[in-house]
Amino acid sequence: MPAATITPTELSPIDRKKLIPSSVLGVTVFVLTEMMFFGGLISAYLIVKAGNIMWPPPDQPRLPITLTAFNTLFLVGSGIMVYLSNKSLARGDNAASKKQLGVVILFGIVFVGIQGFEWMRMLGHGLTMTSSTYGSFFYMIIGCHALHVFGALAVLIGVFFKFSKPDFKHSSYWGIQVFWYFVVGVWPIIYILVYLS
């Protein structure tokens, strides 16, 4: 069959992988559902917030805006490093790519660590899951995001250790990259809506 008249269903398995690898497709579909999940959480938060005359409630502690802004830099930095790591991998420079992936993991761990520290302080100041709807939403939204970071970090660490192995497939790294971009991309939205507004 001439290539000019080819349709997507008639692609050979190799060409179909070139179109979009299965790992990337699978993770992309998962990310789309996750976007709906966070969209639902954020929507519920905005409606409850709009329904209150005073927000945050006067008897509840304020969130640490500056420290979290600083923390955001680590997460955004990790997103940039993933991009650079992929570029290195595409050039065939596996050693540089692995180093950059190491920095991504380090930044991710720092992000989660600072958030853990923040949570300890907030709990100490009396902001808990049951102290108010403000507290419930804070821990629910930020906690869900942190869980995603944890999950992604675990996979990234797995990929890091597979990097030097001969059976390492680039496509297995691409899948988790898509997920990490999601984790990084959704955070500034959460930060603006939960911390700043």
Partner 1 sequence: MADHLYSGLSIMKLKTITSVSIACFLLAMSQAEACPVCFQTNGEESRWAFYATTAFLTVLPLSMVGGAVIYLRKRFLRLKDELVN
Please report whether residue 50 would count as binding partner 1 according to CB under 8 A.
yes
Query: Does residue number 36 form part of the binding site for partner 1 (CB under 8 A)?
Result: yes
Six-digit token pair at 20? 């979009």
Q: How many residues of this chain interact with partner 1, rule: CB under 8 A?
A: 24
DSSP type of residue 59: T
Helix (H) or strand (E) holding 58: none
Indicate the residue among 1 and 165 with the shorter CB distance to partner 1: 1
Closer CB to partner 1, residue 8 or residue 58? 8
* Residue 163, CA distances (Å) to 25, 132, 168 in order: 22, 46, 6
In sequence order, the 6+-apart residues with CB closer than 8 A to the CB of 47 are: none
4 binds partner 1 (CB under 8 A): yes
Cis peptide before 2 (omega within 30 of 0): no
Q: Does 47 bind partner 1 (CB under 8 A)?
A: yes
Tokens of 163: 């990097």
Q: Does 189 bind partner 1 (CB under 8 A)?
A: no
**Residue 59 interacting with partner 1 (CB under 8 A):** no
Indicate whether 32 belongs to the interface with partner 1 (CB under 8 A). Answer: yes
Nearest distance from residue 182's CB to partner 1, in Å?
Answer: 11
Q: Is the dihedral of CA 46, 50, 56, 59 positive or negative?
A: negative
Residues that bind partner 1 (CB under 8 A): 3-4, 6, 8, 11, 15, 18-20, 28, 32, 35-36, 39-40, 42-43, 46-47, 49-53
